[in-house]
A and B are shown apart, each in its own frame.
Chain A
């Protein structure tokens, strides 16, 4: 190659001209019998992703029957009026498809991914599974047995134990405080009639949404949906109002004793707004700079400065109902106390010191720039369509201009106010899962310490 001038490596090259991304165009249509379809055609996409969601999440179950919503969703594909459980699985798997049936706190959903040429078969099967589940007594008993086993195994994973303890401490033995999967006691209590009645109440067409992204002709899909999803537009009952327990005064420390653990799982959290709260956009920016990216404050502090952990992060739970903040890190046990004190100090700093304009600018451009990363896959697009449908956002919510406007509306003054309001180290619950004899002395002075058996 020809000689070139000496290269200046001291600074990154100037970027080329920005080519802005755009959220894919999609169609939103409510069908005559109630089902609402959000369809995003992506010509050339190698996979087709479909989700059929119902307002049948864990927020709608009574705490004494915790696990009912997830068990009901899980039983949808365990047999229909046409096929038994193995035949459903055999049919989907022979198409090379992946079908899942599960609930979260907000919804119960069927998700299916396969090659685009199997679309019609996929829609037919989804309709069959959603509309004529068999809830076979044997399958119900098998699901309960498996669930009880899985709940026992939950105690194998220290990170899971820590999450469960935090939620229990924040929300009590109530909705959001018990695992979505239930407890061995609540699962024992469940009867098949509970599943039937939960299904009848929450899996009607009027509030169902079908989300789809991939290579398809929307007109053809709408015609198929009208045929597959004809019937009475039964509406679900309104969302229950979940009463929150009063927050305890002062910080509390829960040590879950696991002698011999190789490490300590830390969780620090408190109640916080859910997804529909007007502060959410600002909180997203604030959380991202605090603990939502590699270069966040707590990760740089705990990992890159101190080497206490492989990674520290924070998040606000995104759901319809009341949320919470969690700060997570798995730390070397001898440094557990020091790590907690650094986290608390970072929370204090966020509340007491002004945020530099550059840090806000970096965080904004990060959030703007990474958005299209989530649009590479059809499943990623479906995820966004689900948010539009479930949280009731307008169709242009993810258009680049709107997204940018929300980020730009967040000011330094606002972030300071949000930090005061939504980061509350004095009322946090701290959970530490590890050897209590080593942990308790390190955590003294941080709040009333309670030791429980792991």
Chain B
């Protein structure tokens, strides 16, 4: 794989613990301000699932010096693009701004890091609760197969595991969140000590650091949150379930425990997923979608998570094909890979596809900032992003064979979604 064309990286830490990553790139007069808070749905407690995400919405509702929805207004009126997202392990906030407006981004982010609570009102929480409930309906409940991934997580993770519940949360828990919860969450997790600020784009690093110190330097560092310790996976066994949905075709899901992001075997699992379903010449697509037409589509993925998570294979089953037969064929392919490993050409294809995907990610400033922040947050080292290409290159045919064998030897979850009409 070709070396990624990341620029020179600079790292700093303010006295209050805020970590800063700077990557200058002056190809376009743009700058990304990207803030990762090391808190996500895995820090939630039972009865309050979805809270980290609901909280993310509250960060766009103004702070002491930024009224109402003016956060977006300030950014959009200078031609900026802003958003935030919540994940199991982290919550990120980011804006791409014209380069000369770097100060605006820092002012806005520091204001909500330091001065959120004075602006908080019960009305804002009620409105965002309704918005988030609608987000859940739009993205999950009113989507075909929308609840499958939640059910699959319940099957693959043991009781009490923090990846067992969905990031968006349940309706009951979204309804139960209180203003006191917002206060406590903010005090615990939304601190300089628990954040990484990444700037990528057209700026002078010394001047940028000075601005960062000006806006963030006087914020109190805050506590160090306790690490989340996961409940271990079962060592073996199969769990199965069947759902029905308003869909025309059945879909089969298989889930297996997989390594955490950054482990050498994580890169092997990524390449294995690519070998299985990445493109028409991938093993499962060529056989089951193209040649035998058992499935209309097939995909697989492994998640970039801080704790070990899972690898999923999902196949949408063609009409008049038996889901059980498709499942046997998928497992038979895994068994072949576990016995013999992939062909060299399968590995070459997967590696080259990963290299292209990696190059694609380096193109946009906000993707690059996210990549640096991910490595800084999970692994304590943003420069580890530079070593990803080598990590993919280091994966061998034998690693992939071992990876497939480990999937088959461990526990697995199997979920089938059936069309409601056919099921009744």
Contacts and interface: CB of A to CB of B under 8 A. Distances in A.
Interface residues of A, number: 81
B131 to A, nearest CB: 5
Contacts of B213: 1
Nearest to A160: B144
Given A10-B65, A156-B248, A365 B103 contact: no
A308 interface: yes
B262 interface: no
B4 interface: yes
Contacts of B56: none
Given A15-B104, A114-B356, A370 B214 contact: no
Nearest to B26: A19
A368 B78 CA distance: 8
Interface stretch (A68-76, A86-94, A342-350, A387-395): A86-94
A96 B108 contact: no
Interface stretch (B230-238, B344-352, B376-384, B394-402): B344-352
Contacts of B290: 85-86
Interface stretch (B133-141, B183-191, B265-273, B408-416): B133-141
A201 interface: no
A331 B28 CA distance: 38
B208 to A, nearest CB: 11
B293 to A, nearest CB: 8
Nearest to A95: B352
B30 A263 contact: no
Contact of A262 (B131, B137, B353): B137
B121 interface: no
Nearest to B291: A86
B360 A18 contact: no
A16 B102 contact: yes
B131 A303 contact: yes
Interface in A155-172: 155-158
Given A19-B99, A310-B138, A12 B363 contact: no
Interface stretch (B43-51, B252-260, B277-285, B306-314): B277-285
Given A93-B349, A96-B356, A332-B134, A1 B76 contact: no
B148 interface: no
A307 B54 CA distance: 13
A32 interface: no
B28 A93 contact: no
A377 to B, nearest CB: 4
24 contacts: A4-B214, A12-B108, A13-B106, A15-B78, A15-B100, A16-B101, A21-B29, A47-B363, A86-B281, A96-B349, A96-B353, A114-B356, A149-B249, A150-B296, A263-B138, A263-B141, A295-B73, A306-B130, A308-B134, A309-B131, A310-B132, A330-B134, A332-B130, A361-B77
Interface of B: 2, 4-5, 15, 27-30, 64-65, 69, 72-74, 76-82, 96, 98-104, 106-108, 110-111, 115, 126-135, 137-139, 141-144, 202, 211, 213-215, 217-218, 246-249, 278-282, 286, 290, 293, 296, 316, 318-319, 345, 348-349, 351-356, 359-360, 362-365
